[in-house]
Structure 1
Amino acid sequence: MKTTIKSSKIVKLSENIATRKAKIGIIGLGYVGLPLALEIVDKGFQVIGFDKNDDKIGLLRSGQSYIADMPAIIIQQAIHKEKFEPTNNFTKLAEVNVIIICVPTPTTEEGTPNISYIVEAAHAIEQNMSKDTLVILESTTYPGTTEDIVRPILEKQNVQIGQDIFLAYSPERIDPGNRNFSVTNTPKVVGGISQSCAEVARVFYETVINTNVYTVKSPKVAEMEKLLENTFRQINIALVNEMSQLCYKMDIDIWEVIDAASTKPYGFMPFTPGPGVGGHCIPVDPKYLLWAGQQHGITATLIEAADKINESMPNFVVERLAHYLNMQEKNLHDAEVVVVGVGYKPNVNDFRESPALDVINILREKHCNLKIVDPLIETVVVDNWKTNTVPLTEELMLRADAVLILTNHTNINYALIDEHAALIFDTRNTYFSFENVNYYKL
């Protein structure tokens, strides 16, 4: 969907973007917002990063990074060149021409959408923005949020969307730790409130991202597209997790089954089992879709079933670990267990919604004596329990009754584990042991 730009306001804003004269504002400097801000700086723009977390702003101003795959030197260079200004002063939104909302969208305890951060950001924009500004929501949310929630807030200042300001939705596609795909080579999807909104947003992303921009008819389509992406992953992970349970009961190696199925050049996409699903997308986004369906009288039974399967995996992991300990005439109760990896995925220091936390909780309920190894994380908090991680040593391995690999970071010495551990339960198929006779895979 491409249109001819006619409005002088659209022409001026588009020209300012194309010539790098536009100043960009990013609201939310987390795992999505901070990499995006620095990528835009790299494309020659001046960026103001907004976050209400004073600790984050303090770290960024001192040139420090709190994201594992974001080198501090990039932050330091951007600040030194006066191209990046981190701040908690939202009145500075009046200085920018493009505003991108990258705030968290968690769920409530009841599993319903919590878009309070989006609402808060929209009010901050409404109170401080200048006219002729492009506003883009990137936070994952349910269909209708951009049009039914953000738009009315912005229009409180008697501005007309598509004429005075421009509003669009473009789902973030950041995959922390992925070295093959980044914000610059992953296609963007854009849905505007109007054709002019979509056009200006398209010009912006084509300028700052070296990839294709695919425009859709409305923000609702783009919002639903994002939910489809992550629900697709959740359901396929649930399928292979359920297959792993079946294969275990039937004494079949699920990993060999996956390898064999992957030889088919069409009609099959490999997914791998694990201790559950984690992060800020897969455990959360399908619940937004479930809720949206309920508002329209639809029960998404497949999504509900997938959710239950994935949530059952931590218990399945602990049951398997107890079985392997029993084979060595040891009890899970009071066992010395070393947990390796608590990040929600390899090579990231984010453990939000990590299935490792659920496994740890169950092990604590079984009165296991736990030590946690994760070179990317210093302190782990599970409910009201807090502990520091420990280094991986030969002595630690020799004292352990079992080693449980939950996240397969690449900078862990698995050879040391294999050589000295009495029992290894590897839920990620991290490596193949030829030496340790008590090595088991999920």
Structure 2
Amino acid sequence: MSSFETLSAKLADRSARVGVIGLGYVGLPLAVACARQGFTTLGFDIDPSKEAHIRAGRSYIDAVSGDELAGLVTSKRLSATTAYDRLGECDVVVICVPTPLSRHRDPDLSFIETTGREIAARLRPGQLVALESTTYPGTTREVLKPILEAGGLICGEDFFLGFSPEREDPGNAAFETATIPKVVAGDGPQASALMQAFYGAVVKQVVPVSSPDVAEAVKITENVFRAVNIALVNELKLIYGAMGIDVWEVIEAAKTKPFGYMPFYPGPGLGGHCIPIDPFYLTWRSREFEISTRFIELAGEINTFMPHHVVEVLARALDERLKLALSAAKILVVGLAYKKNVADVRESPSFKLMALLEARGASIAFHDPHVPQAPNTREHPEYAGQASVALDPAAYDAVLIATDHDAVDYGALTSARLVVDTRNAMAARGIFGPNVVKA
């Protein structure tokens, strides 16, 4: 039997062994979904603490149930390791590593490249390698494929390569990895068939497209769409605010239209791994084709400006209402996570808000029921280890709502001297007062 036929048979009877590299918000849910469907699954991560958590059956991600994780580990369907030498055991290898931006907003593919070299050093005939990390169109073919072929094996003959963009939405209880339609593509017809066979066994619906380039463009398009529309409502917030119009009331009324409108909501800036980053991958790639991405770049400028706007609103409210300079104020930031009801702080605008406030001389603390301690982050390592404080509004000059977690006692915030609300959290709960300012 050929390599293709052998792997096809293993996928059909679930005897294929699956390796997932990167056990974060994308990789761990995928590994659990694979193990749940009968594949013996091995997770790889350079962080030994993740291996230890999985060995002990302890989930460190909200989207993964600790009970299910423990059951899969006990049944030996799922295990974890830091040893890349075990990649040879896997018939399918899925790459779920970060793709951040450099300080100059250029794509940083170092994690993909390093992982590709680790795989290439152990690559054997009959393996399928699938990339899930979000990136610009062409990465799978132009970057990853040559790295994997450097050892002498030929893509499409000896091993197979494909791309399937991750579509996780932390905090969304309506969807999980197995129930979100999965776009898949292979480098060649056999790779495409294998990608459909593998993911079709793990998720409820696969959506095949013609090439990895198209699949990469799908993911970029999804996130550009969100980034641009969020920028639009952020700009509308500024415009309507100057007119004395509440943008949230406008949006609530507009979304009653059953066609031709989709609600997006303003905020203090963009967070998460995807929306603040992915559009700039397309901007960078477009320069090679001498195409200006003015619309995307303008959206990025508006969204990047929002933390500065919030700080200005806060400073003005302190001055006008309390006759207090921002440089002398004690500020409590409510919410460190980038979105409600999750512990995910990746690219959270709260870090930028805190940095801007401290640069203006303010004293800051944060309260987040989902984030007991700030983790180390690439852009703001200075906050690593800082603990969430108790919710005591009266101890501060102002409370800044940056994330609208449901677990926060918003009624208690009425005792604050000043509340600056970037999420409409107070009004959405029917809480109003002269000390509440929307930003």
Give the TM-score normalised by the residue count of structure 1: 0.94
Does the CA-based 8 Å contact 1:375-1:391 persist in structure 2?
Answer: no
Which residue number corresponds to residue 303 of structure 1? 296
* 1:149 partnered with 2:147: no
Q: Offset of 1:411 from its aligned partner?
A: 1.5
User: Which of the numbers 133, 140, 151 marks the counterpart of 2:127?
Assistant: 133
Q: Offset of 1:316 from its aligned partner?
A: 0.5
Q: Which amino acid aligns with 1:400?
A: Y
User: Which of the numbers 391, 400, 403 marks the counterpart of 1:404?
Assistant: 400
* 1:436 partnered with 2:426: no
Q: Offset of 1:333 from its aligned partner?
A: 1.9
Q: Offset of 1:342 from its aligned partner?
A: 0.9
- Cα deviation per residue 1:357-393 (whole Å; 9 max; x = unaligned)? 1111111112112121011212235343445333434
* 1:196 partnered with 2:193: no
- Cα deviation per residue 1:272-291 (whole Å; 9 max; x = unaligned)? 00000011111110110110
**What SS does the aligned partner of 2:150 have?**
helix
Which residue number corresponds to residue 209 of structure 2? 216
Identity %: 41
- RMSD between aligned residues: 1.6
- In 1, Cα distance between the equivalents of 2:384 and 2:110? 28
Which residue number corresponds to residue 390 of structure 2? 392
Equivalent runs, 1:55-94 vs 2, <5 Å: 55-94=49-88
- In 2, Cα distance between the equivalents of 1:371 and 1:53? 29
User: Measured at CA, do residues 168 and 436 of structure 1 come closer, stay the same or move farther in structure 2, by a change above 3 Å?
Assistant: same
Does the CA-based 8 Å contact 2:140-2:212 persist in structure 1?
Answer: yes
Does the CA-based 8 Å contact 2:185-2:208 persist in structure 1?
Answer: yes
**What SS does the aligned partner of 1:384 have?**
helix
Q: Offset of 1:324 from its aligned partner?
A: 1.8
Equivalent runs, 1:204-243 vs 2, <5 Å: 204-211=198-205, 213-243=206-236
- In 2, Cα distance between the equivalents of 1:247 and 1:121? 48
Q: Which amino acid aligns with 1:76?
A: A
- In 2, Cα distance between the equivalents of 1:364 and 1:24? 47
Q: Offset of 1:64 from its aligned partner?
A: 2.7
- In 1, Cα distance between the equivalents of 2:220 and 2:229? 14
User: Measured at CA, do residues 138 and 385 of structure 1 come closer, stay the same or move farther in structure 2, by a change above 3 Å?
Assistant: closer
Q: Offset of 1:331 from its aligned partner?
A: 2.3
- In 2, Cα distance between the equivalents of 1:120 and 1:313? 35
Runs (4 or more) in structure 1 with deviation over 4 Å come to none
- In 2, Cα distance between the equivalents of 1:308 and 1:441? 21
- In 2, Cα distance between the equivalents of 1:323 and 1:171? 43
Which residue number corresponds to residue 365 of structure 1? 359
Q: Offset of 1:129 from its aligned partner?
A: 2.6
* 1:330 partnered with 2:327: no
Does the CA-based 8 Å contact 1:68-1:347 persist in structure 2?
Answer: no
- Cα deviation per residue 1:267-316 (whole Å; 9 max; x = unaligned)? 11110000000111111101101100011111101111101000000010
Greater Cα shift, 9-18 or 88-97: 9-18
Greater Cα shift, 427-436 or 332-341: 427-436
Does the CA-based 8 Å contact 1:171-1:222 persist in structure 2?
Answer: yes
- Cα deviation per residue 1:151-199 (whole Å; 9 max; x = unaligned)? 1122223222222211111111111111112211211111211011011
Which residue number corresponds to residue 152 of structure 2? 158
* 1:275 partnered with 2:273: no
- Cα deviation per residue 1:119-142 (whole Å; 9 max; x = unaligned)? 111111111132111110000011
- In 1, Cα distance between the equivalents of 2:85 and 2:111? 17
Does the CA-based 8 Å contact 1:40-1:47 persist in structure 2?
Answer: yes
Q: Offset of 1:259 from its aligned partner?
A: 1.2
- In 2, Cα distance between the equivalents of 1:386 and 1:33? 24
Q: Offset of 1:345 from its aligned partner?
A: 1.1
**What SS does the aligned partner of 1:49 have?**
strand
Greater Cα shift, 68-77 or 371-380: 68-77
User: Measured at CA, do residues 386 and 185 of structure 1 come closer, stay the same or move farther in structure 2, by a change above 3 Å?
Assistant: closer
Which residue number corresponds to residue 108 of structure 2? 114
- In 1, Cα distance between the equivalents of 2:381 and 2:29? 29
Q: Which amino acid aligns with 1:347?
A: N
**What SS does the aligned partner of 1:128 have?**
coil
* 1:261 partnered with 2:261: no
> Across the two proteins, how many residue pairs are aligned to each other?
432
- In 2, Cα distance between the equivalents of 1:127 and 1:363? 48
Q: Which amino acid aligns with 1:410?
A: D
* 1:315 partnered with 2:308: yes
**What SS does the aligned partner of 2:426 have?**
coil
- In 2, Cα distance between the equivalents of 1:299 and 1:412? 43
User: Which of the numbers 244, 249, 263 marks the counterpart of 2:242?
Assistant: 249
- In 2, Cα distance between the equivalents of 1:78 and 1:367? 50
Give the TM-score normalised by the residue count of structure 2: 0.95
Greater Cα shift, 184-193 or 93-102: 184-193
**What SS does the aligned partner of 2:177 have?**
coil
